Amino acid sequence: MEIRPILSALSRTKIAVFLIILQIAITLAVITNAISIVNKNESDMDRPTGVDLDNTFVVSISTVNLESDPKEIMQSELAKITATPGVVAVTPGPVVPLSGNNWCGGLSTAPEGEDGTDVHMCLYRGNENFANVYDFKIIEGRNFLPEEITYLKEGEDAHIPYIMVSKAVADELFPDESAVGKNVYDGGDAEQRPKIIVGVFDQLIGGSPQRNNPFNMRIEGLVGWQNFTRYSIRTEPGELPVVMEKIEEVLKLDPNRYVSRVRSMQEYKKLAYETESAVNSMLKTIVTMLTFINILGVVSLAWFNVNKRRKQIGTRRALGARKGDIIKYFLTENWLITSMGIVLGVAIALGLNYLLDQSLEVGKMQPQFLVFGAVLLWVIGLLAVYIPALRASSISPATATRSV
Amino acid sequence: MFAYYLRLAWQSIKRNIIISSLMVLALALGVGSFMITMTVYYYASSDPIPEKSDRLLAIQLDAGDIESDYEVESSKDLWASLTYLDANNLMEEDLPVVDKTLHYRFGTLVLPEDKDIDYFGAEVRATTRSFFSMFDIDFIYGGSWSEADDEGKNVIVINEEINDKLFSGEDSVGQTLKTNDGNFKIVGVIKTWDIAMPYFEPYPHIGHEFAEVYAPINTFINKEPFSFNGSMNCWKPFDRSNHDAFLQAECAWVGFWVELASKDDKPQLIESLNNYTANQKTLGRFQRPTNNFATDVNGWLKQHEVAEGPVQLMQSMSFLFLLVCLINTIGLLAAKFIGKSTDVSVRRALGASKSDIFKQNLIEVSLIGFVGGLLGLLFAVVGLRWVRELFGDSLERFSTLDPTLIIMGVVVAILASILSGIYPSWRAASAPPAANLKTQ
Amino acid sequence: MLSMKKIEMVYRADMVETYALRNFNLDVNDGEFVAVTGPSGSGKTTFLNIAGLLEEPTSGTYELDGESVGKLSDKKRSQIRNEKVGFIFQGFNLMPDLNIFDNVDVPLRYRGFSGAERKKLIEEALEKVGLQSRMKHLPSQLSGGQQQRVAIARALAGKPRFLLADEPTGNLDSLMAQQVMQMLEDINAEGTTIIMVTHDPELAVRARRNIQILDGSVSDLDEMMHRVTEKVSAVAEEA
């Protein structure tokens, strides 16, 4: 098909063509950026968390009479939970992965005042069962021994000598050697007592996955006897709903305790990514609507062109153009317009990506999304123009001679 | 003539019912989605207390560690809260302000005396009596506590919801609220608060829960074990087993606000703050350069980017979507008016001027815009419900259309359709009048 | 009534200039019935469009009713067209969505008449063409001849002084063409000036004056005949 005559025909309806090109360009820019953001959010959500999402839940519980002894209460509750059939492991601990709560603090390879490597991280606390409740692997060293767990009363300050760190933290603190057995120091400890890294685990996501470096974590071997606490509980596969119900029932038997929440880790994850999934749903809706609007635009422009050129088409037919030639003419014309829109659209898409990345840190646009968007628009365009083109091809050659 | 044009417009819409419906639909989708994001933006960015937002200021002091060599270029680079030590000192300090307050939050467990009502958790805002008048909080019953109560009495102000739950909405002033933190005499009940979020929080954001009860800060500040909800940042070690040491510690966690007599008093305020930190320097604190800030309410919301992130992303995306819908409408209108060109030529021959035709077309376009706008509003109402479901309760206060928004929606739609209609209407009106008279 | 002097009409398309009318001069008096003939492309329609103020000539002067209408605003030209000129087309050009009453109503609307005035004028005009019983019909429900009569009623409703007809019988069979022609003659007899473009020599001779357009210029057959006769008689006198 010759392109030159099509171009010269297009140049006669400059504004209409320019508008459709602009429409395609903006559509491409929005679609590719939306897909890029959706993809980034989804890959964030699909990251391994280090949590056995399907079989872990958390109970939040507090005391009615604050004069009672939390140590006694918690010990008895831990015993009851452990004894419940279907429970694999339980650990007390105030911070829960994906819960939105974060306790954070840096560690250094040297005491304050000396030169050392500082690494910022957030932390979990728990007993020796913490590693069984969550689904991470200890890749170096070992888990806490029961006697390494520090127990302290509310309001007490205590040294926490034994910790485990994630691989991300270990690599930063000790890039060239194993972190196991090394001493590290907590800037918040007035006495700068050393902590020993007993193990390094592969990964466990932090309280807020949206934070920078959500896998920079440490686990402190510490249980606080507190009036308000959380129990993280892992169940046998498939036992979660039954165990959740059972545990709530058991804990509620004590009138001095108030169970404020029983929530599965799946639920925590859903809430942790609520904004991302909402944004994704909205972006997907916008992409769908845009596709629809674009089909409208292409069809109407083609319709408009067919109607305007009835006589010209009739003349072409009279001069021997076959139906296929007419269809090809319109398809080629549409392909040209879409292509021009795509060229402009790629530029706008990259500009928009730059702006969004500057203000919202959505990440760089990957080329395959641009290719996907372009192919999508080409296909939409050709499909949308096909029916008007078919109609054009059925214009009778007699149209050429009919009018006065 | 207007009624005549309206009738012609209706006739023309009926004749091209498919293309007209598509236009209405495209406009409605564009306007609807724009309205949804606009609504969220409107609530997130609107001034929560317009009558005095420029006189209410949040205070930030750079009390950070001399060893942390961070740069402070604006108030954004500092902790958004003060140490209890500084907040408490500033309450005593002679500042050029009308009023001032400090506050923090913690959780408690309410123990209803009525055994039919289960225990429930509530968030307490520990603050001073001035909090209510500074932030213009309306009471249904009673009022704030007295100056004497501020010393640390067991008094409490509850919100409407708890009052409805425990006292069936009756005047509960003088009654007792039992919690696991003790028993409190109720002195006031505040109305459900009609603002988008607690903007006075150190770190306000969309979806932030409001505190449900309010009590004097001195009633809790010395309580052990101490409880606190929120963000706390410490930069110097201290003896964590000693509560007094904690209260003296270099940990930022207390919100501090002042109310000025006039916004022009801000320089004097900053000067007083600078004097205070200069004094503290002599005590060995505040070793970093002087960076003290007082930020008004709207500045505070801007600083915390509450209207940014997903709000901004969705707003720009929906704006571009609206733009595509508009461009598309221009195309559809052009196609439609081409179909009417014989009609236009005949009218011209019968004596219609260009401006007559232009007016006729524009009225048709506006009619489409009006219908599109109404449908768009409907989409927005349904869509907002859907968005609210997506985001959960955090958008509860962001998802109702008030009259301003409804008017804005209709105006956006009509403006959009007129904007997209001007060019095709003008094109159609200025075609040579004799062009389409000959052919049948 | 109508006076055109040295009218030129040039169409520019790309780089090519086409003269549609060139040194075109014509005077038409009040009450005349002028038939315009000429081959395709000679400029008949261009002349009619200029006469009806649908197009502005490139140069030359055009006076209508003693008023120079060459360089007026679109609004003023539209007003003159509305008040003084009535158009009849070969293709009738009725508005398909409007019923007969509303079709005739169109020019009156632009005239700014009140509802009652318009109703009176529409009924009068439709009565004149014998279609007052069809007021509520749509054009598609009428025959071609009836449609053209509606078009005539529409052209006449505002009582213009001047009727322009472009091949008014071109789409009609000969019986209907006769009726329409008769109607135009009656209208002319009542004092309305008519200029009619036609191909049909039979119809042309029924007009009181015939002009032919050739290559954009007038050759007034009657005037030519007149001059020839004068010459002949002068020769005769000399002889």
pLDDT tens, position by position, C104-148 = 999 999 998 999 999 999 999 999 899 999 999 999 999 988 999
Q: Are residues B95 and B142 in the same domain?
A: yes
C74-94 average pLDDT score: 90
Which of A72-86, B72-86, B307-321, C207-221 reaches the highest mean pLDDT? Answer: A72-86
Q: What does the alpha-carbon distance between residue B436 and residue C166 come to, in Å, rounded to a whole number?
A: 13
| 3-class SS of residue A114 | coil
Mean pLDDT of B350-368: 91
Query: Does C91 contact chain B (CB < 8 Å)?
Result: yes
Average model confidence (pLDDT) for chain C?
A: 87
Q: What is the pLDDT of residue C221?
A: 65
pLDDT value, residue C222: 66
Q: How far is A120 from chain B (nearest CA, A)?
A: 13
Residue with tokens 């002067």: C61
Tokens at residue A350, please? 């990259």
| C-beta atoms of A260 and B121 within 8 A | yes
Question: A404: which chain C residues are within 8 Å (Cβ-Cβ)?
Answer: 90-91, 167, 170
Q: Which chain A residues touch B121 with a CB distance below 8 Å?
A: 62, 258, 260
DSSP B37-88: HHHHHHHHHS-SSTTTTTTEEEEEE----TT-----SSGGGS-SSEEHHHHH
Q: Which residue has the tokens 């609504």?
A: B39
Residue at a domain's end among B261, B290, B319? B290
Q: Are residues B30 and B67 in the same domain?
A: no
Residues B194 and B211: their CA atoms lie apart, in Å, by 14
pLDDT score recorded for residue A1: 58
Mean pLDDT of B209-219: 90
Q: For residue B379, give how far its alpha carbon lies from the nearest alpha carbon of chain C (Å).
A: 32
Question: Does C148 lie at the interface with B, CB-CB under 8 angstroms?
Answer: no
Structural contact between residues A6 and A332, judged by C-beta atoms closer than 8 angstroms: yes
Give me the pLDDT at residue A316, please: 82
Segment B228-251 mean pLDDT: 89
Q: Which chains touch C (3 or more CB pairs under 8 A)?
A: A, B
Q: How many domains does chain B have?
A: 2
Q: Which chains neighbour A (Cβ–Cβ under 8 Å, 3 or more pairs)?
A: B, C
Q: Which of A91-100, B220-229, B379-388, C12-21 has the lowest mean pLDDT?
A: C12-21
Return the closest-CA partner of residue B354 out of C75, A231, A346.
C75
Nearest CA in chain B to A34: B317
B34 and B107 share one domain: no
Range B157-182 average pLDDT: 94
State whether residue C40 sits within 8 Å of chain B by CB: no
pLDDT tens digits for range B409-429: 778 877 887 888 888 888 888
B32 and B89 inside one domain: no
Give the per-residue pLDDT at A90.
Answer: 97
Q: Is residue B412 part of a domain?
A: yes
| Chain C, nearest residue to B16 by Cα | C97
Which residues does chain B have within 8 Å of residue A19's beta carbon, measured at their own beta carbons? 327, 330-331
**Residues 64-123, chain C: which have Cβ within 8 Å of A?**
90-91
| CA nearest neighbour of A125 among A232, A282, A44, A29 | A232
* C75 at interface of B, judged by CB pairs closer than 8 A: yes
- Would the CB atoms of A293 and B328 count as touching at under 8 Å? yes
Spatial CA neighbour of A6 closest among A387, A341, A335, A318:
A335
Q: Do both B215 and B251 map to the same domain? A: yes
* C109 with B433: Cβ contact below 8 A: no
What pLDDT is recorded for position B366?
A: 86
CA-based nearest residue in chain A for residue C45: A404
Sign of the dihedral through C-alpha C115, C118, C122, C128: positive
Q: What is the reported pLDDT for C232?
A: 63
Taking an 8 Å cut-off on Cβ atoms, the answer to whether B33 and A294 are in contact is: no
Q: Are B234 and B251 in contact (CB under 8 A)?
A: yes
Is the pLDDT confidence value at B250 over 80? Answer: yes
| Distance of residue C198 Cα from the nearest chain A Cα, in angstroms | 13
Query: Can you give the pLDDT at residue C14?
Result: 65
Q: Are A22 and B327 in contact (CB < 8 Å)? A: yes
Cβ contacts of A113 on chain B, cutoff 8 Å: none
Answer yes or no: is B210 within a domain.
yes
Which residue is it, tokens 């005239």?
C111
Do residue B119 and residue B235 come from a single domain? yes
Instruction: For residue B295, tell me if it sits in a domain.
Output: no
* Residue B434, domain member (yes or no): no
C215 burial (CB, 10 Å; 0-12 / 13-18 / 19+) is middle
- Would you call C11 an interface residue with chain B, using a CB distance cutoff of 8 Å? no
Chain A interface test: which of B79, B118, B236, B324 (most A C-beta within 10 Å): B324
Inter-chain touch C78–B354, beta carbons under 8 Å: yes
Q: Are residues B336 and B256 in the same domain?
A: no
Q: What is the pLDDT of residue A136?
A: 95
Closest in B227, B237, B392 to A189, CB measured: B237
- In this structure, the dihedral spanned by the alpha carbons of residues B238, B241, B244 and B249, taken in order and rounded to 10 degrees, is 20
Which residues in chain A are contacts of C199 at CB distance < 8 A?
none
pLDDT value at residue B440:
41
My answer on whether B261 and B379 are in the same domain is no
DSSP state of B119: P
Of A77, A104, A70, which is closest to residue A91 (Cα–Cα)? A77
Domain boundary among B233, B255, B290: B290
In which domain, by residue range, is B376 found? 2-48+308-429
> Residue C91: which pLDDT band, with cuts at 50, 70 and 90?
confident
B74: in domain: yes
C58 part of contact set with chain B, CB < 8 Å: no
- Residues B134, B253, single domain; the answer is yes
For residue B312, the chain A residues in CB contact (below 8 A) are 359-360
Report the residue count for chain A.
404
**B406: confidence class by pLDDT, cuts 50, 70, 90:** confident
Answer whether residue B379 shows pLDDT above 70. Answer: yes
For residue A222, what are the CA distances in angstroms to A47, A95, A152, A218, B386?
Answer: 28, 12, 8, 12, 44
Q: Does A253 touch chain C (CB under 8 A)?
A: no
The answer for A 385-404 residues in CB contact with C (under 8 A) is 404
Encoded tokens for B193: 């608060």
| Residues B206 and B262 placed together within one structural domain of the fold | yes
Query: Are B77 and B207 in a shared domain?
Result: yes
What domains can you pick out in chain C, each with its CATH number?
27-55+74-238 (3.40.50.300)
Which residue did the predictor score with more confidence, B81 or B196?
A: B81
pLDDT at residue A163, as a whole number: 96
- The distance of B138 to chain A (nearest Cα, Å) reads 30
B180 located within any domain: yes
Q: Residue B15 is nearest to which of C81, C93, C97, comparing CB atoms?
A: C97
CB distance A278–B121 less than 8 Å? no
Could you tell me which residues come within 8 angstroms of residue B186 by beta carbon, excluding any fewer than 6 positions away? Answer: B142, B155, B156, B157, B158, B172, B173, B174, B175, B176, B177
Tokens read off for B431: 């075609």
Measured between CB atoms, does B3 come within 8 Å of chain C? no
Percent of chain C with pLDDT over 90: 45
Distance (Å) from the alpha carbon of B12 to chain C's nearest alpha carbon: 8
Model pLDDT, residue B55: 96
Q: In this structure, are residues B164 and B120 in contact, taking their beta carbons and an 8 Å threshold?
A: no
Contacts of C111 in chain B (CB under 8 A): 351
Structural contact between residues B396 and B209, judged by C-beta atoms closer than 8 angstroms: no
Question: How many A-B residue pairs are in contact by the CB < 8 A criterion?
Answer: 152
* CB–CB contact B312 A359 (8 Å): yes
Residue of A nearest to C167 (CA): A404
Q: Which residues of A touch B302 (CB under 8 A)?
A: none
Question: Which bin fits A101, alpha (ψ -120 to 50), beta or left (φ > 0)?
Answer: beta
pTM of the model: 0.85
Same domain, B127 and B253: yes
Do the chains contact at B342 and C49, CB–CB below 8 Å? no
pLDDT at B97: 95
> Closest partner residue to B325 among A283, A293, A352, by Cβ?
A293
Interface of C with B in 160-179 (CB under 8 A): 166, 171
Residue B296 lies in a domain: no
Q: Do C91 and B353 touch (CB under 8 A)?
A: no
Q: Is residue B56 part of a domain?
A: no
Residues in chain A with pLDDT values less than 50: 403-404
pLDDT tens, residue by residue, B43-93: 888 888 999 999 999 999 998 877 667 888 888 889 999 999 999 999 999
The phi and psi torsions of B71 (rounded to 5 degrees) equal: -90, 135
Domain boundary among B290, B324, B359: B290
Residue A315 C-alpha, separation from nearest chain C C-alpha, in angstroms: 20
